[in-house]
């Protein structure tokens, strides 16, 4: 019996070692492939690089024609970040494009390695393992790989965010505020995570929240008043919200595409302002339910309160953002894996059922369902985020032993259809 147990343990370690070697080898191959094809990949970085060069030459970094002339080719993408963010890219623009390309890629890989360690050691602890690293490769349509290929700054942004969350767990709130502001330096919207301070049990939280908000606003105001390109930056932000579908799976995009599909099938047109109103109403419901869950966590103080507070905040941010690109879903990797490890008890039956249904629709090419199927896949990451958000709300209520309110999605589904996607969450408390 002992020999059998020992042999099984050796077998597991051997399998783990083999899989680890395969994963590392494959990761190295992917990075080498991206680095070797400099004309094909990291198109976002190409925009950052030549925007920085344009700024150094006194040209407008938000003018696409200026970037095209410097690059001697069609850039294709506009520079959308604040003028002050150009200082970061100016460090790389001192090198040739090919050299800067490689430095930027390796820098992001180093930060990604730090992120993986931080996630596994601090935020997941016992839940992390080899399966987690496989999950990181595949989760949310391989969101990490998408960011490496696109050359966006998402991994850099995530590093600052999760460092901020780390200091929040350690109750070092000034450092939390600093790293959140750093994370928001490029895309601005991550500054919303400063709101997490309001649900932390700390006497000086309101002072830190007000101070960090003033600091962030002062930076933006100073940039606006001192940069000659401020108005161009504001105009460039308008292009952010035109994208939707698989590359920018947001709730607003899903609503618009759903109404578009409805119009194609019925000939009935729904006004754009009504679509925006539907999104506003849904966003308000999401914020209200999240606020209620946050309040429950604050008052009852369950185990793992802070981690759940962070994870639910990440999910809410993703659901209500007007722009949340495919590579931005890196933010949800840890909340998703935590939920799968902690909340799931159905042993994969529902997961397999969904997979079979999706593959059937795809191969059978059923009329009408084909368009709906394409819509599902365009917003698949967003739909997963919605499912995770509902799962977190249900788990918090179960932990708090609160009665299920009528507006809770899990309770509504169980009461009116008798169906429950996670049985132990639907037990009466």
Supply the DSSP string of 125-187, one letter for each residue. GGG-SHHHHHHHHHHHHHHHHHHHHHT-SHHHHHHHHHHHHHHHHTT-HHHHHHHHHHHHHHH
Angle between helices 154-169 and 130-150 (to 10 degrees): 140
Is residue 154 located within the same domain as residue 187? yes
Instruction: Quickly count helices (H) and strands (E) in the chain.
Output: 18, 0
Dig out the tokens for 97 from the structure: 């494009």
Residue pLDDT, tens place only, 180-199: 999 999 999 999 999 999 88
Is residue 208 located within the same domain as residue 278? no
| 32 within some domain | no
Is residue 98 located within the same domain as residue 230? yes
Is residue 108 located within the same domain as residue 233? yes
Q: Is a pLDDT exceeding 70 seen at residue 304?
A: yes
Last residue of a domain, one of 190, 216, 237: 237
Is residue 162 located within the same domain as residue 251? no
| 3-class SS of residue 245 | strand
Is residue 249 located within the same domain as residue 172? no
Residue 257: closest CA among 364, 354, 373: 373
| 16 within some domain | no
Is residue 220 located within the same domain as residue 250? no
Q: Rounded distance, CA 429 to CA 421, Å?
A: 17
Look at the block and give the residue holding tokens 């995770």.
388
Residue pLDDT, tens place only, 68-114: 899 888 887 888 899 999 999 999 988 999 999 999 999 999 999 99
Last residue of a domain, one of 237, 264, 285: 237
pLDDT band at 232 (very low <50, low <70, confident <90, very high): confident
Is residue 357 located within the same domain as residue 260? yes
Is residue 181 located within the same domain as residue 264? no
pLDDT band at 362 (very low <50, low <70, confident <90, very high): very low
**Phi and psi (nearest 5°) for 343?**
-100, -20
Q: Which residues are CB-neighbours of 19 under 8 A, at least 6 positions away? A: 130, 134
pTM above the 0.95 mark?
no
Q: What is the mean pLDDT of residues 25-33?
A: 90
Its domain, for residue 163, covers 40-237
Average pLDDT taken over every residue of the chain: 82
Dig out the tokens for 256 from the structure: 């618009």
Q: Rounded distance, CA 361 to CA 89, Å?
A: 45
> Could you tell me if 144 and 168 are in contact, meaning their C-beta atoms sit under 8 angstroms apart?
no
Q: Rounded distance, CA 150 to CA 71, Å?
A: 17
> Could you tell me if 362 and 380 are in contact, meaning their C-beta atoms sit under 8 angstroms apart?
no
């Amino acid at each position: 019996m002992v020999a059998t147990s020992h042999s099984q343990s050796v077998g597991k370690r051997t399998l783990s070692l083999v899989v680890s070697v395969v994963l590392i080898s494959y990761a190295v191959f992917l990075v080498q492939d991206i680095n070797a094809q400099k004309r094909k990949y990291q198109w976002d970085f190409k925009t950052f690089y030549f925007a920085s060069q344009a700024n150094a030459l006194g040209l407008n970094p938000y003018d696409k024609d200026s970037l095209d002339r410097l690059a001697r080719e069609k850039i294709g993408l506009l520079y959308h970040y604040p003028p002050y963010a150009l200082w970061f890219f100016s460090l790389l623009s001192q090198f040739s494009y090919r050299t800067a390309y490689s430095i930027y890629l390796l820098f992001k890989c180093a930060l990604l390695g730090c992120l993986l360690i931080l996630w596994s050691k601090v935020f997941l602890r016992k839940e992390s393992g080899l399966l987690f690293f496989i999950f990181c490769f595949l989760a949310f349509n391989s969101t990490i790989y998408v960011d490496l290929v696109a050359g966006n700054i998402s991994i850099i942004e995530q590093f600052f965010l999760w460092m901020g969350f780390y200091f929040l767990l350690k109750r070092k709130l000034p450092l939390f505020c600093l790293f959140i502001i750093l994370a928001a330096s490029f895309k601005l919207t991550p500054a919303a995570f400063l709101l997490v301070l309001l649900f932390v049990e700390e006497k000086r939280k309101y002072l830190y929240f007000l101070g960090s908000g003033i600091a962030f606003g002062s930076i933006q105001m100073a940039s606006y008043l001192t940069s000659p390109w401020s108005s161009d930056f504001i105009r460039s932000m308008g292009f952010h919200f035109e994208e939707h579908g698989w590359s920018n799976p947001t709730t607003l995009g899903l609503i618009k595409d759903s109404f578009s599909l409805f119009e194609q099938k019925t000939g009935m047109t729904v006004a754009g302002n009504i679509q925006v109103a539907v999104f506003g109403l849904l966003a308000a419901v999401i914020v209200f339910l999240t606020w209620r869950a946050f309040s429950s966590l604050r008052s009852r103080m369950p185990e793992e309160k802070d981690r759940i507070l962070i994870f639910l905040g990440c999910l809410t941010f993703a659901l209500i953002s007007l722009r949340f690109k495919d590579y931005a879903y890196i933010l949800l990797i840890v909340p998703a894996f935590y939920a799968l490890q902690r909340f799931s008890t159905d042993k994969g039956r529902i997961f397999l059922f969904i997979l079979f249904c999706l593959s059937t629709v795809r191969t059978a090419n059923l009329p009408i369902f084909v368009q709906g199927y394409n819509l599902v896949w365009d917003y698949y990451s967003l739909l997963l985020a919605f499912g995770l958000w509902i799962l977190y709300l249900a788990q918090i209520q179960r932990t708090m032993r609160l009665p299920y309110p009528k507006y809770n999605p899990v309770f509504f589904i169980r009461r009116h259809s008798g169906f429950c996607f996670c049985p132990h969450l639907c037990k009466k408390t």
